[in-house]
Amino acid sequence: MKLFKVLAATTAVAVLLAAPAYAQTRIALVVKSLGNGFFDAANKGAQEAAAELGDVEVIYTGPTAATAEAQIEVVNSLIAQQVDAIAISANDPDALVPALQRAMQRGIKVVSFDSGVAEEGRQIHLNPSDTALIGETIIKLAADYLPEGGDVAILSAASTATNQNAWIDAAKAALPEKFPNINLVATVYGDDDSVKSTDEAKGLIAAYPDLKAIIAPTTVGVVAAAQVVTDQNLIGKINVTGLALPSEFKQFIDNGASQAVALWNPIDLGYSAVMLADQLIDGKEAAPGETFSIGRVGEVTLDDTNAAAMAVPFQFDKTNIEEFAAIY
């Protein structure tokens, strides 16, 4: 009986405490899993956005295991907390949909970023970049250091890799108009396997003596190619570039095997996701063709599926590789 009274009393007190205590706008940044440098960096950007907006609090959260079920538990707890918006990088594009639809029914704005959610489960999806921008960037990375033009070759992942093939097609489309003096002599496939990528890079160097640059739009291939160039003392003759993780690739920027590489910038991604969520909270409607400002990163326009591409891949060179290698 006494226990019951204590329970009743504490319940009453808790109900009194339950009166909303926060007037601030709260935006939750839900990531695939915690303890991942990429998402810690996204959080850094999200906090920057919050500071810039002033009255916004960013809740950085996510499960320990990168599973959809665990992420749904996180979303459920955010619905209970009545946050104003959820910006999520989803572990599964479909499984999160029912939970996020419930969030939207209760008035919570939902933005997906990085790994998207199916269209019916979010209002906006923010891609770090898009196919055309990536294709153009990988050629530009080589062309910037070849003022007189020359031969370049592409070392890709598997010949069936959907992403890489789309980027290479976009790169080829950009070549004649934007980079007329760059001559793409070959495209080879290293299957995202270090050994095979190394062999393919050696093959390229042997087959094309005038080769000026190797472009590898894969984080495995780019490291293999840079290692081959380093081992064969070709630093200064062949420039390796492409898409690379700064932490894995720092040594090759430092030794000169590569002038610059690119990849998505997680800081800008987290920053932009919060900026988008904040505008939805302020009442802006997400619709195809609508333009949203994303602060210092610029602006994005929504496509037919309410998805947007943030920016061209972010370039890493001698000036900033140190800083980003510490992040991811």
Partner 1 sequence: MTDTTATPRRLPNRLDNPFKSTVLSWEGLLVLVAVAIFILNSFASPYFLNEWSLSDMTFNFTEKALIALAMALLIISGEIDLSVAAIIALASTLMGWALQFGADTPVLVAIGVGTGIACGAFNGFLVTGLKLPSIVVTIGTMSLFRGISFIILGDQSFKGYPPSFSWFGQGYVWWVISFELVLFLVCAAVYFVLLQRTNFGRRVYAIGNNDVAAEFSGVRVARTKFVLFCLTGLMSGMAAVLLTARLGSTRPSIAEGWELEAITMVVLGGVSILGGAGTIVGVVLAALIMGLVTFGLGLLNVPGIVMSIFIGALLILVIALPILWRMWRQRTAVRSA
By CB under 8 A, name the binding residues for partner 1. Answer: 3, 6-7, 10-11, 13-15, 17-21, 33-35, 59, 61-65, 67-70, 72-74, 76-77, 79-82, 92-95, 97-98
DSSP-derived pairing of the beta strands 291-293 and 299-301 = antiparallel
Minimum CB separation of residue 94 from partner 1 in Å reads 4
Looking at beta carbons only, is 63 or 217 nearer to partner 1? 63
Minimum CB separation of residue 168 from partner 1 in Å reads 21
Looking at beta carbons only, is 110 or 308 nearer to partner 1? 110
Looking at beta carbons only, is 82 or 181 nearer to partner 1? 82
Minimum CB separation of residue 157 from partner 1 in Å reads 15
Minimum CB separation of residue 124 from partner 1 in Å reads 21
Q: Do residues 222 and 240 touch, judged by C-beta distance below 8 A?
A: yes
Query: What is the DSSP code string of 229-274?
Result: HHHTT-TTTSEEEEB--HHHHHHHHHTTS-S-EEE--HHHHHHHHH
Could you give the CA distance from residue 137 to residue 128 in angstroms, rounded to a whole number?
A: 13
Could you give the CA distance from residue 129 to residue 110 in angstroms, rounded to a whole number?
A: 20
Minimum CB separation of residue 81 from partner 1 in Å reads 5
Looking at beta carbons only, is 33 or 187 nearer to partner 1? 33
Could you give the CA distance from residue 247 to residue 250 in angstroms, rounded to a whole number?
A: 6
> Angle at the Cα of 170 (from 165 to 176), degrees rounded to 5?
130
Q: Which amino acid is at 38?
A: F
Residue 256 CB partners (closer than 8 Å, separation 6+): 235, 236
Looking at beta carbons only, is 98 or 298 nearer to partner 1? 98
Minimum CB separation of residue 274 from partner 1 in Å reads 16
Looking at beta carbons only, is 13 or 326 nearer to partner 1? 13
